[in-house]
Structure 1
């Protein structure tokens, strides 16, 4: 009888113990320290030196949870020349169920393949247009079940660091957003943006597929005219996981309808991140395709090699604008907590992969050459 009573008491106490365990705050702190080596074909001095090796970033990640309410934040510290300190993401969230989540704050925009539409350290050409791994200020609801993933979001604006009446967007940011060009021109901001993303997940023959569409629509407020234009982006995307193979494919179309002052072209907009703005064609279509294959190894601390190639093409609508290209071939080396990207990144009219910065993604350059940046990024993640 006593034994049976003990069993009943233990059975009753299990949910009570679980309940109290859920009331205990949880906090996890991590981060990363990264270094970078690069050698660029268009930098003669750098080629003479044999490339440059230096500091990339130090970052802190914090995740917390209490009574079902979650926090997720990541702060990055780059060198001053690349924008200095910046918040990549920072949101408060709540899980209504394991499949349904709400996030408020600086959260990833649900557009295209997420978290990344690429495999390499440079991302795809979409990133440099604000269409990959973008983070804005707003609210996002996500449903992620066995067969479906869909997200609805409203973003009041991009990261706002200057709260003046007509303040320019700060250049210190992780993801590319509409901004000012830095010379008093093209002074615009993103406002009141809506996003919708729907993905159908299915499997067959050991292959997992994710086929989806994304839509984005919002306002573009001009700081000089105080008039609001609009912008629209649409994407179709597909991702495949089959054993050690991963494939990402996406077609994205975007259009910015700006209300710039008389004398300023509406055929281009300014975008900024990492401390410096550049110009981008106001309308275009991008095509991206990435393929990766993982090879497990046992070479001391090295456990995996992921070989990849990511290609991107930006088709600008205006015929007198020269199109932009990007291709990155490389390998990700995993060794414990150390992740090393070894990339041969090639670009044509791509600001980070060539000698032209301000106009590479807008007007471009006639008869531009392919340029190459050999890059090694070494990061310890904790």
Structure 2
């Protein structure tokens, strides 16, 4: 009996200790989320006579893999994309390590989105807006970024050592990348960014923002650093309870590379998707976008977003023609599929016209016309 009493006391004591033991910390358990997308593209371009004869082309666009992971408070976010070889092949779109100091603040280290202008996109369509093609929309560079978001206020500060450099040497930067950067005989380095946003209204639907950027441009010929800087102001209206979205932005930039004597140029090379083109060394870009969401409850479609995005590129170089882009279209949501149907019009826009190399500089010397590309992008996201 005495032994049974002792065993009972020991058992109850052990159960009490077990009940008082602290729960496992969720951060001690690793988490992993894998997703991605497969996309195909149909397009018909008015300036391509052979394509018009064929009735357009339909082919492969991209296969991508997204990974999100977390363990012991350290998070990982990465996206790898594989395009056709003619568009740069495989490339890392983004990838960073993240630590959350609190629910309102975090730090990201790696290839992360540059805090500049309207984010994540200054557009609603598949083509982006004019800002993307000059390196100021959904741009990703290598560095460290701090974010603090309290609801009413959000500010970001970042330092970027370089763009998406693929080689660690004094060689020309490869254009096999997702976002546009300065390439050719100049390389981006030591860039600082600062952005502050103020949200207003009962549902914080109105957003006002100011962005500033400054950095260096290392010239491979002179082995000297030039400078680059940009600034932007923006307004965006967005709320889950309202079908309207409005985006307005105005920005300016200046690129001042240290070219060799006698070789001063009023442009720089920029590259992405496997090819370079020339961009004016200074200018302003004004963009405006509007979209309207139509919710549906059908077996096939869950929603339609109708939108129009316009961008005007004012080049501040004598003899350079200005550029325009306007994209009118609709996004159809069907379960895991997102189908962008766009009519994209371009004037001195390299992706929307026959002139590639100098569309963002001289244009075609007063003979430029508006061109249109009708595009349907079919994407299955998982």
Question: Could you state the TM-score of these two structures normalised by the residue count of structure 1?
Answer: 0.93
Contact kept in structure 2, 1:110 and 1:196, CA below 8 Å: yes
In structure 2, C-alpha distance between the alignment counterparts of 1:160 and 1:320, rounded to whole Å: 33
Look up the SS of the partner of 2:86 in the other structure. Answer: helix
User: Cα distance, 1:263 vs. partner?
Assistant: 3.5
CA 1:254 to 1:20, structure 2 compared with 1: closer, same or farther past 3 Å? same
In structure 2, C-alpha distance between the alignment counterparts of 1:129 and 1:113, rounded to whole Å: 15
In structure 1, C-alpha distance between the alignment counterparts of 2:27 and 2:138, rounded to whole Å: 32
| Structure 2 residues without counterparts, runs of 5 or longer | 1-12
In structure 2, C-alpha distance between the alignment counterparts of 1:40 and 1:154, rounded to whole Å: 40
CA 1:11 to 1:293, structure 2 compared with 1: closer, same or farther past 3 Å? farther
In structure 2, the partner of 1:118 is 123
Tell me which of 226, 231, 235 is aligned to 1:234. Answer: 231
In structure 1, the partner of 2:246 is 247
Contact kept in structure 2, 1:214 and 1:236, CA below 8 Å: yes
In structure 1, C-alpha distance between the alignment counterparts of 2:57 and 2:186, rounded to whole Å: 35
User: Cα distance, 1:10 vs. partner?
Assistant: 9.6
In structure 2, the partner of 1:183 is none
Question: Could you state the TM-score of these two structures normalised by the residue count of structure 2?
Answer: 0.93
Look up the SS of the partner of 1:128 in the other structure. Answer: helix
Tell me which of 137, 155, 161 is aligned to 1:132. Answer: 137
CA 1:228 to 1:30, structure 2 compared with 1: closer, same or farther past 3 Å? same
CA deviation map 1:255-299 (0-9, x unaligned) = 001111234333100000000000000000000000000001123
In structure 1, the partner of 2:351 is 352
In structure 1, the partner of 2:304 is 305
In structure 1, C-alpha distance between the alignment counterparts of 2:95 and 2:34, rounded to whole Å: 14
More displaced stretch, 261-270 vs 366-375: 261-270
In structure 1, the partner of 2:178 is 174
CA deviation map 1:334-373 (0-9, x unaligned) = 0111000000000000000000000001121213100000
Indicate the RMSD between aligned Cα atoms, in angstroms. Answer: 1.7
In structure 2, the partner of 1:90 is 95
User: Cα distance, 1:115 vs. partner?
Assistant: 0.5
Contact kept in structure 1, 2:115 and 2:156, CA below 8 Å: yes
CA deviation map 1:240-262 (0-9, x unaligned) = 02500000110010000111123
More displaced stretch, 70-79 vs 253-262: 253-262
In structure 2, C-alpha distance between the alignment counterparts of 1:72 and 1:316, rounded to whole Å: 37
CA 1:120 to 1:11, structure 2 compared with 1: closer, same or farther past 3 Å? farther
Does residue 256 (structure 1) correspond to residue 261 (structure 2)? The answer is no
In structure 1, C-alpha distance between the alignment counterparts of 2:347 and 2:25, rounded to whole Å: 58
User: Cα distance, 1:12 vs. partner?
Assistant: 4.7
In structure 2, the partner of 1:316 is 315
Q: Which stretches of structure 1, 4 residues or longer, exceed 3 Å deviation after superposition?
A: 8-13
CA 1:12 to 1:290, structure 2 compared with 1: closer, same or farther past 3 Å? farther
Look up the SS of the partner of 2:119 in the other structure. Answer: coil
In structure 1, C-alpha distance between the alignment counterparts of 2:334 and 2:150, rounded to whole Å: 32
Does residue 271 (structure 1) correspond to residue 270 (structure 2)? The answer is yes
In structure 2, the partner of 1:200 is 198
